[in-house]
């Protein structure tokens, strides 16, 4: 994210949109680009999932965004924006996957797994808030 102009623009907009605009970042164009990339990657992921399952259902990805937020938060991304890394997010995905797998092996109900994910997000927010002030 720090090595390309688009990545720097995304981080700048995430940190403070108005400051990025004043600094000359093309905020509107950058946001549109990010949404287009996100849409393309989401459609690619859905095609892969449909290929694996052999069926399509409109509600198949319900609450997956919670896992994405939790993985990014575990990986050190600030939920207030402007901070984070792809490597950290990958570490967060591995940790969250191990947690989910462990809870499933322990026969913990899905409701409590979602509760654990929510608690992880809250803890990550509290840690981010505590370290942001320093």
pLDDT tens for residues 20-29? Answer: 999 999 999 9
- 10-residue mean pLDDT profile of the chain (134 residues): values are 85 88 94 96 92 86 85 81 80 90 93 89 83 68
Residue finishing a domain among 57, 79, 103: 57
List pLDDT tens digits, range 111-128: 999 898 888 888 888 887
d(CA 81, CA 104): 32
Domain that holds residue 31: 1-57
Residue where one domain finishes, among candidates 16, 37, 57: 57
Give the per-residue pLDDT at 1.
63
The answer on 50 and 89 residing in a single domain is no
How far apart are the C-alpha atoms of 99 and 131, rounded to whole Å? Answer: 24
Tell me the C-alpha distance between 21 and 39, whole Å: 24
Same domain? For 68 and 130 the reply is yes
What's the sign of the alpha-carbon dihedral 126, 114, 85, 94?
positive
Q: Determine the pLDDT at residue 6.
A: 92
């Amino acid at each position: 994210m720090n090595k390309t102009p688009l990545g720097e623009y995304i981080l700048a907009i995430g940190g403070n949109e108005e400051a990025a605009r004043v600094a000359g970042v093309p905020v509107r164009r950058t946001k549109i680009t990010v949404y287009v990339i996100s849409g393309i990657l989401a459609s690619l992921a859905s095609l892969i999932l449909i290929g694996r399952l052999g069926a399509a259902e409109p509600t198949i990805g319900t609450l997956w965004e919670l896992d994405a937020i939790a993985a990014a938060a575990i990986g050190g991304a600030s939920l207030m924006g402007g901070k984070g890394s792809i490597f950290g997010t990958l570490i967060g995905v591995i940790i969250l996957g191990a947690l989910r797998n462990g809870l499933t092996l322990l026969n913990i109900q899905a409701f409590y797994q979602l509760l654990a994910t929510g608690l992880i997000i809250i803890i990550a927010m509290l840690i981010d808030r505590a370290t942001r002030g320093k």
